[in-house]
Amino acid sequence: MTIQTETMIYEVQGKTYEGVLSWDDAATGPRPGIMVCHAWGGQGDFEADKCRALAGLGYVGMAVDVYGEGIRGTSTEENAKLMQPLMDDRAELQRRLKGSLAALQGDDRVDETRIAAIGFCFGGLCVLDVARAGNDIAGVVSFHGLLGRPDNIETRPVKAKVMVLHGWDDPMATPDAVLELTKELSEAGADWQLHAYGATVHAFTNPSASDPEMGTVYSAKAEKRSIAAMTSFLDELFG
């Protein structure tokens, strides 16, 4: 097994985006593809590492980009400025995600009928919006994601299976927000599940997260549990 990684340049509505694609070159034939949606700083090493791990499990991983080629944040202030316009215009965010999904489906190594998505923080909200928008996707996994319902989509059937991996003490997604999401998913007829980790806050899978005041702290225990839950979920979808 040799994991290969390459930059993937693609276009959505005339704008260029820069993803990362990983796969096992010992595998033959099309295999399931997994979108990896980035946190508020933009696509980077964290997401690329997740793609390589997914390739090791037999998938084609694609770290998508919703900001644009070369557009990345390097501070809390820059990250917020990049994310907020898409939080304010969820229809535009959903268009970029749909274009990223199409780029993954168009790769020869990918079985376009067997696609899932995972996302972290802002990326967790992204994968929920992929499901909410009715894209043809088997399932989505939100890791410590933002949960707010988009204002451009009325409740509609959610066909994708949904897994939410959540730190119960996350100040950016309170228990009330979690309950609102579960109500939304139930009303949409979704096959959903929630794994909540006690004494755990935001960004619990990110080893560099160490800001208790902001509510972003890494938890090795919650990371291990959440990755195991995701792996089992993907096995259910594609095993």
pLDDT at residue 156, rounded to an integer: 86
Chain segment 70-106, per-residue pLDDT in tens: 999 999 999 999 999 999 999 999 999 999 999 999 9
Mean pLDDT of 108-132: 98
Is the pLDDT at 174 greater than 80? The verdict is yes
Residue 139's closest CA among 36, 237, 11?
237
Q: Return mean pLDDT, the chain.
A: 97
pLDDT at residue 155, rounded to an integer: 81
Residue 193's pLDDT band, with cuts at 50, 70 and 90, is very high
Residue 170's pLDDT band, with cuts at 50, 70 and 90, is very high
pTM tops 0.85, yes or no: yes
Q: Indicate the SS3 state at residue 231.
A: helix
pLDDT at residue 1, rounded to an integer: 72
Side-chain-facing half-sphere of 131: CA atoms under 13 Å: 32
Residue 154's pLDDT band, with cuts at 50, 70 and 90, is confident
Mean pLDDT of 159-186: 98
pLDDT at residue 82, rounded to an integer: 98
Contact 117, 100 (CB under 8 A): no
CB neighbours (10 Å) of residue 227? 15
Cα–Cα dist 208/218, whole Å: 7
With a CB cutoff of 8 Å and minimum separation 6, the contacts of 206 are: 39, 46, 120, 216, 218
Is the pLDDT at 223 greater than 90? The verdict is yes
Residue 39's pLDDT band, with cuts at 50, 70 and 90, is very high
pLDDT at residue 177, rounded to an integer: 98
The least confident of 85-89, 152-156, 160-164 is 152-156
Ordered structural domains, the chain, with CATH: 3-238 (3.40.50.1820)
Identify the residue with better confidence: 4 or 28.
Answer: 4
Q: What is the 3-state secondary structure (H, E, C) of 97-158?
A: HHHHHHHHHCCCCEEEEEEEEEEECHHHHHHHHHHHCCCCCCEEEEECCCCCCCCCCCCCCC
Percentage above 70 pLDDT, the chain: 100
Mean pLDDT of 103-110: 97
Mean pLDDT of 142-158: 94
